[in-house]
Amino acid sequence: MKLVVSANGNVIGFLSMDTQIGLYAFDYSTSWLDREDCFPLSPALPLVRQNTSDEQHSANVRQFFQNLLPEGQALDDAAQANKVSKSNLMGLLVALGRETAGALEISMTEASPIPTPTPSKRLLTPQELSLRIRSRPDQAFSVWDGKVRLSIAGYQDKIAVLEENGLWFLVDGKGLASTHLLKPDPIRSGLQHMTSNEFACMRLAQAVGIATADVRLEHIPEPILLIRRFDRLIGEGNIERLHCIDGCQALGLGVSMKYERPYGDGRDVQHIRDGATLPKLFALLDRASSQPAVDRLALLRWSIFQILIGNTDAHGKNLSFFIDSGGIRLAPSYDLLCCLMYAEGQISDTLSMAIGDNFDARTLTPYDWALMGAECGLNARLVGRELKQLADKVLKIWPELKQNLVAAGANDTTLNSLEGVFNQQCTNALSIAGLVPKISKDIL
């Protein structure tokens, strides 16, 4: 089994699997390696293969490409719609690989008897979308016209659409690409108005100076959140795809390792912290970023902001990086959400990645922040200063922003709940920020 991996019409390489021994391999094409602007798919898959065994190379390849697939129910729906096992990576990539996150397009080789899909662009009306949102208990939201319209990782319902002149289209085939992700509220009653929650957190991040994907809230009449894809450049008559990888792909981790505690928070396994962590991400920027000082400061601010808004689900796949011939660069933020609003059993209140050794966003101490700084190679004064400045900005900006969010259609009750969390988290941060630099290095 062999697949072609391309980007914007250029063949990057070939993904293969030996079905006899169950090993994967990826080989960059000669034409790609000859380009002056060529780049690796990720730091874990360098242009020149290192001294790794076939087994380790196979694991690196499998982990990278598995991270392109959706998770949870969306993966189940994709497997069922295409009549392949959800453990069949190659089969799922054939089905979903033409509209991945980033620039990559995955297809059969030219010698394959399977024809390339004819380009198609179908109008998606608000009426049809509204009906499908209401039909989700009985009909998979990611499957339209018998095709899966999603290959974006994550658990929330979402589809990828092309927006042109205020209209939405489902697109398929060569030369076409989506420009936006469209999210309705979750089906679970305890998570209603999550669109307003995410809309508010994303707009707040922009307001305090954190690079964030553009979002807007619309009602059809159901609320839907539209997120403009930052891995797409919309030009005159064409859409360029930008190569973008998530934190797990950048770290060479599988999707199951997106949480720092990949085996859970239970007593017997909570000490195992083999998954994505802030120290690993900062170390990645040190060795691979084309602008390490800029990216390290941005990652610190991203980390602090998650605490201030109560986002306990900020895991390794909720960070992304652009990658080109110069290295990696931190991409805009996305999936910003106040999870502490749902801490009554709907969403875990345990942090996905610890601050120091503390996984509780509500009980962080100066020691926790100082330890985090030491582990990530950050100056304690910088950590304390950024903690104070961001908390001050959130409290100052929120009242006026809240009024604008209400005017944009956000749910008022949800915004009031968010305000309570923001005030508590920011007040806690301000009470300890000045003490962070005073923690003795001898006890860290």
Where is average pLDDT lowest: 29-38, 227-236, 278-287?
227-236
- Look over the chain and give the mean of its residue pLDDT values, rounded to a whole number: 91
Beta carbons of 32 and 40 less than 8 angstroms apart: no
- Other Cβ atoms less than 10 A from the Cβ of 110: the count is 8
Q: Does pLDDT of 112 surpass 60? A: no
In order, the DSSP letters of 266-319 are STTTTT---S--HHHHHHHHHHHBSSHHHHHHHHHHHHHHHHHHT-TT--GGG-
pTM of the shown model: 0.93
243-443: CATH, from 1.10.1660, 1.10.3470, 3.30.70, 1.10.1070? 1.10.1070
What's the pLDDT at 72?
Answer: 80
Tens-digit pLDDT profile for residues 24-69 = 999 999 999 999 999 999 999 999 988 889 999 999 999 999 999 9
| Better pLDDT: 295 or 347 | 295
What's the pLDDT at 145?
Answer: 84
Tens-digit pLDDT profile for residues 134-186 = 999 888 888 888 777 765 655 578 999 999 989 999 988 777 888 999 999 99
- Give the mean model confidence (pLDDT) for residues 321-328: 94
Helical (H) or strand (E) element with 369:
helix 366-376
Q: Is 150 exposed, middle or buried, given 0-12, 13-18 or 19+ CB atoms closer than 10 A? A: buried
What's the pLDDT at 70?
Answer: 84
- Give the mean model confidence (pLDDT) for residues 366-391: 97
Q: Is 34 helix (H, G, I), strand (E, B) or coil?
A: coil
Residue 202 CA to residue 110 CA, distance in Å, equals 42
Beta carbons of 340 and 421 less than 8 angstroms apart: yes
Two tokens, residue 50: 């290192």
How many CA atoms are closer than 13 Å to the CA of 400, on its beta-carbon side? 6
- Confidence band for 117, pLDDT divided at 50, 70 and 90: low
What's the pLDDT at 115?
Answer: 53
Strand arrangement, sheet containing 23-28: 23-28, 10-18, 2-7, 104-108
What's the pLDDT at 20?
Answer: 87
What's the pLDDT at 120?
Answer: 81
What's the pLDDT at 113?
Answer: 46
The residue from 185, 231, 246, 313 that is catalytic is 313
Two tokens, residue 25: 């391999």
For residue 357, indicate whether it is catalytic.
no
Q: Does pLDDT of 97 surpass 90? A: no
What's the pLDDT at 174?
Answer: 72
Domain spans, the chain: 2-108, 120-234, 243-443
What's the pLDDT at 225?
Answer: 97
Tens-digit pLDDT profile for residues 240-274 = 889 999 999 999 999 999 999 999 999 899 999 99
Total residues found in the chain within this entry? 444
What's the pLDDT at 152?
Answer: 62
